[in-house]
Amino acid sequence: MSTTPAAPRPPLLSTADALATLLAAARRVDGAQTVDTFEALGRVLATAVVSPLDVPPMRTSAMDGYAVRAADLAGASDASAVTLPVSQRVPAGQTAEPLVAGTVARIFTGATVPPGADTVVMQEMVRADNAGATFSHVPPEGEWITRQGADIRRDSVILPAGSRLTPQALGLAASVGSAALEVVRKVRVAVFFTGDELTMPGEPLRPGAIYNSNRFTLRALLSKLGCDVTDLGIVPDRLDATRETLRRAARDHDLILTCGGVSVGEEDHVKPAVEAEGRISMWQIAMKPGKPLAFGAVRREPADQNSGESYFIGLPGNPVSSFCTFLLFVRPFILRLAGVEAVEPRAYAMRADFTQKKGDRRNEFLRAQVNEAGGLEVFGNQSSAVLTSTVWGDGLIDNPPNHAIQAGETVRFIPFSELMR
């Protein structure tokens, strides 16, 4: 029997170092495609959108009212003594004729300001009758006129490459005439789940089994990120089956994502399978929940068209651990693969309306809810198996290692809305 002592385990990586490792390794996927702007929601721009025109492309009225030359009213000590004839009517979308001196133009919001006019007086300040328009206000020059290019200047970058397209970004692109956009191709992700105890909803729940909630959560999170997802299902708890599935997943995918089997138990085969088919470059994070998170790569077989490697991330099997590690590590990694530079969620300083007498030795992420007083409450059971906390909560409190929380102190809060956008 060998008396050689076991090699000491390396220290757990901090969450900051783990994220930095992931992002440093991520490279934008190759390939782009042109899609209809209507279909580009959530996609990432491969090339910047440069405006070919000023927006608005002409001077426009910001109000319903009357376009005038300010000089025609400036000499009047009492504007109500001035009545000017209406020489034209300018609805939005129609061409305006040059304004004849000493006259006004009836104009509507968004309409082109006639050449020669330099001011719009809102209709509430004007009395109109057959004699013309009588003013109760002496306007300054330029009042209620939106200048040409006030929103966007011609040849300016309005959406840089790497922007993830929101509904308002699509509207902005459309405002400069972009009917189609060049976007990064979707990140291709293969996902599979390990655990002989896993059963799918709709099937009888045999003794010792649990329903596979992670499959639904992770597929939904991947879809929300706009990934092209291949679900390889539930893999038996065997090393050979896990290795074969990894080889199959590596062929056509940028990332292989697994759930379960990355700990050190006798039935945890994912880590040794990845080490046999590729490499593990990071394992175990100093966080709670979610310590057994693995990162590495799986080799593609030489005969495959896409030689090289597929990235690999192994998530823990407990549902809250899987959920939190996805949001904190997988989400920014996938966004970086898609070409997004700004991947960190915004965090907010908020008041703790609870006391936690003892901190954990790891960086702890507490499921919390914003109360009516604008403070934070935590879910009563912070176990990594209690998925209810993720539905009840509004986000995560990022609590540093060994830090006890006192009611009234300020904590760092990351809303789920930030972690899922």
Q: Where are the domains of the chain?
A: 15-30+186-337, 32-55+154-184, 60-146, 348-419
- CATH, domain range 32-55+154-184: 3.90.105.10
The answer to whether 15-30+186-337 and 32-55+154-184 have equal CATH topology is no
- Given the structure tokens 């879809």, which residue do they identify? 223
Q: How many beta carbons lie within 10 A of that of residue 265, not counting itself?
A: 8
- Judge residue 309's burial from the number of C-beta atoms within 10 Å of its C-beta, 0-12 exposed, 13-18 middle, 19 or more buried: middle
Domain 60-146 architecture: Beta Complex (2.170)
pTM for this prediction: 0.88
- Given the structure tokens 């309306």, which residue do they identify? 353
Q: What is the pLDDT of residue 195?
A: 81
The 10s digit of each residue's pLDDT in 312-345 is: 999 999 999 999 999 999 999 999 999 998 999 9
Residue type, 7: A
What's the sign of the alpha-carbon dihedral 345, 349, 355, 356? positive
Q: Which of 264, 260, 234 has the alpha carbon at shortest distance from 313?
A: 260
User: How many angstroms separate the CA atoms of 250 and 312, rounded?
Assistant: 9
Low-confidence ranges of the chain (pLDDT < 50): 1-2
- Given the structure tokens 């300054």, which residue do they identify? 140
CATH class of 15-30+186-337: alpha beta
User: How many angstroms separate the CA atoms of 1 and 335, rounded?
Assistant: 50
> Which tokens in the block code for residue 300?
């593609």
DSSP assignment of 164-214: B--HHHHHHHHHTT-SEEEEEPPPEEEEEEE-TTEE-TTS---TT-EE-HH
The 10s digit of each residue's pLDDT in 111-146 is: 999 999 999 999 999 999 999 999 988 899 999 999
Regarding beta strands 410-415 and 228-235, do their DSSP bridges make them parallel or antiparallel, or are they unpaired? unpaired
Q: What is the pLDDT of residue 237?
A: 86
Q: What is the pLDDT of residue 291?
A: 85
Query: From the centroid of its chain, how far is CA 402?
Result: 31
- Strand partners for 282: 295
Residue type, 79: A
User: How many angstroms separate the CA atoms of 113 and 59, rounded?
Assistant: 6
Contact 214, 317 (CB under 8 A): yes
CATH class of 348-419: mainly beta
User: How many angstroms separate the CA atoms of 307 and 229, rounded?
Assistant: 20
